Each structure stands twice: as C-alpha cells, then as structure tokens.
Amino acid sequence: CGIRNMALGKLLLVIFVVILANSAECKPNIVLIFADDLGFGDLSCYGHPTSTTPIIDKLASEGLVFTQFYTASPVCSPSRAALLTGRYQTRSGIYPDVFFADSVGGLPLNETTIAELLKEDGYSTAIVGKWHLGVGEGGMYLPTHQGFDSYFGIPYSHDMCPCYTCFYPNISCYDTCQVTDVGCPIFENEKIVKQPADFLTLADNYTSAARSFILTEAAKENPFFLYYASQHTHYPQFAGQQFTGSSIRGKFGDALNELDWSVGQILKALEDSKAIDNTFVFFTSDNGPSLIQQGRGGSPGLLRCGKGTTWEGGQRVPAIARWPGKIAPGKTAELGATVDILPTLATLLGIKLPPVALDGFDMAPILFENKTSNRNYYIYY
C-alpha cells in the first residue's frame, strides 16, 4: 500500500510539473509600444493624407483600432505614471507637470507598476526608450527599481538637453533646446553608457535593444514584457540617414517614418523568434500633438487643441491592439484608456490586482468578445 501511495504521489508530482510547464508556455508575451506626442490624426490609418506609415497601417489592419481611446494626461510624466500604475496620476503625485533633467523626485517606489505585476508572475521585463518618471539620488527611481529587469534609454525628453544636429548628415534641430543643461544621457540599467546621445543613431540603438531582448527571451522560452517608449515624434523631431528626407510631410514625417520602421523591426523580431502568434501587442501614444510647434508638432485630426490641454486633441490618442487568433481585426468606438491596460493584463493572466484604488477597467469585453466597454465615463486631468 505504501509503495502504491508513493507511486501515486510521484505521478501527481509529474502531472503538476507538466501543468506548470504548459501554463508557462501558454502565457502570452506583452509588447507595449508608446509613441511620444503622436496625435490622433497623425497616422495614415487614422486619416492623415500625407503620412506614410505602412507598418503601423498593417498592424491596424490586423488588429483592433480604437477611435475613442484616452491617455490619462495631456503631458508626458503624468501620462506615463498612469499608464504603468493603472491609477490617475494625482494618486501617485506625478501631477501636474513633468520631470526635468534636474528634478530630484520620481514615481514613488510604493506604486505597483505593470512590470512589477508581470515580473512576479514569471515574466522577463524590459523598457527601451524614454522613462520620464525620475532618476533620483543614486538612480533610485530608474526603471530597474520599478519592476524592470533591464533598461536602455534616455530618462526624460530629449528637448531637455542641448540639441544641435537632428537630421543626417548635419542638419540642425529646429531649436537648441536646453543649452544650459548637460547632454542627454543614455542609460543601460543604472549606468550611463553614452552622453550626449546621438539623435541620428538613437532609433537604431533603441530598435536593436528591443530586438535583442525579444530574441533572447524567446530563445529561452520565457514569457516577456517589452515596454518600448519611443522618443518619436516629440519635438525636436530627428531621424537618421535612412529616413532624412523620406517624407513629403517634411521633418515631422521623417521622424514618423523612423517610428514606423522601428515598429516593423520589433514585429519582425517577434516573427523571427516565432513568438508573434503568442504576443499581445498594444500601440498608443502618451498624449496629443504639440500644436505650439505648429507644422512641426503633429496633428489632432478633427479634434480640438492638443498637448497640454484637456480638450479631445490633448488626450484622445490612436490605439491599436493586436493578437492573432485572439483579437478580431476591426474598429471599435468603445471607450478605453491607458489606465485600463494594467487591469486588463491582470485579468488576462489571472494576476491578483494590487491592494490600492485603481482607476482602470478591464478591456477584455472590447478586445476579445466584441462587447461594450466596462467604462462609461472618463475623468480629464
């Protein structure tokens, strides 16, 4: 009898291990692409007549396009805090302004980010690009202290540094930006690996880092979360050799083309690693276009105003969700928001929500069931 029970126990253990292994294999990868100052009307799939964004257009044709999707704030730092925590920025204190190069604060370490939730669930986590939620003494507010295993990027907006050359080979930026500050640093985890950043190679470097993370983690068969926070298309626009002069829309169009290419390279890495069919990709923007830059600041389409305002043009942004076989292609006018992403991922993965007041709603009915939104209002800050 004892031998039989031991055999049964071993069998149950094997079954348990197999179930765990299978559940790990079934966990979807998450790729969150966050454009910078990209307006509701900037993409050709959202109606812009002179933009050429074939990769993002293809993403839209294969995914669900939102026509009423909102960011939590019309400026950078608050919108990023809300995105990562699922909470209005006023709750974390990242409000109303943004962090600067000499700011001493950052996203409070007691806030729970998407990266922290996913890391606890066995995900490898990385951010590539613009952080803009503080550096702090000794780098205490950098992403590696907020749930991310790795970080590569500039920790704030690139106009918060001196900017002289923005287009190949030596075409000047539209402004010199913050000439009294030091050059933009590129961090790798908590170490500065380049300063000043070279705008002509920045998108290449970001894209290479994103692809490397995807290919490495997919080869390990680890579920992964990539937060790709592009500096495009924030002022001053920039582009490398391949995209300088590539758009009839001018320099803004050149920068947008480089963003489109980088999105394509990320998707190609997913294809090359055979992870594409098990990856939930979500593309959106941190806020509306910077209309004070006029033609160099993007387009809200037919919406009123832009960045820095709580009119529709400031907070209503493009958004596309793609997951082959899980999300049916099409368009939805249902209400969604960046604060909804954290609770949506938690529900999708069966992760317990953090024990704090959340402002996001689960978007699963919109994404997977073609049903109405759980959200019937949105508060503007």
Q: How far apart are CA 38 and CA 255, in angstroms?
A: 11
Residue 314, phi then psi, degrees to nearest 5: -85, -30
Is residue 158 part of the annotated active site? The answer reads no
| Residues 6 or more apart in contact with residue 184 via CB below 8 angstroms | 154, 158, 160, 161, 163, 195, 196, 197
Question: How many CB atoms neighbour CB 49 within 10 A?
Answer: 9
Q: How many Cβ atoms are within 10 Å of 65's Cβ, its own excluded?
A: 21
Among candidate residues 132, 158, 232, 234, the one labeled active-site is 132
Distances 117 to 2, 111, 125 between C-alpha atoms, Å = 42, 11, 10
Using alpha carbons, select from 179, 180, 175, 209 the residue that is nearest to residue 194. 209
Residue 196 token pair:
């000043």
Block residue for tokens 């600041």: 297
Q: Which of 48, 76, 161, 184 is catalytic?
A: 76
DSSP 3-state of 70: strand
- 361/367 Cα distance (integer angstroms): 12
232 catalytic? Reply is no
Q: Determine the 3-state secondary structure of 128 from DSSP.
A: strand
For residue 219, which of 274, 268, 173 has the smallest C-alpha distance?
Answer: 274
Could you write out the DSSP letters of every residue in 224-250?
Answer: EEEEEE--TTSSSP-B-TTTTT--TT-
Tokens of 20: 């765990």
How far is Cα 203 from Cα 207, in angstroms, rounded to an integer? 6
Bridge-based pairing state of the strands 29-35 and 224-229: parallel
Give the active site residues.
76, 132
